[in-house]
Amino acid sequence: QSALTQPASVSGSPGQSITISCTGTSSDVGIYNLVSWYQQQPGQAPKSMIYEVIKRPSGVSNRFSGSKSGNTASLTISGLRAEDEAHYYCSSYGGSRGWVFGGGTKVTVL
Q: Which residue(s) pair with 38 in the sheet?
A: 48, 89
Contact (CB, 8 A) for 25 and 32 = no
Nearer to another protein, 46 or 66 (CB): 46
- Is 66 near another protein (CB under 8 A)? no
Contact (CB, 8 A) for 21 and 108 = no
Please state, in angstroms and rounded to a whole number, the distance separating the CA atoms of residues 20 and 22. 7
Min. distance of Cβ 101 from another protein in angstroms? 5
Nearer to another protein, 45 or 82 (CB): 45
- Is 45 near another protein (CB under 8 A)? yes
Nearer to another protein, 14 or 97 (CB): 97
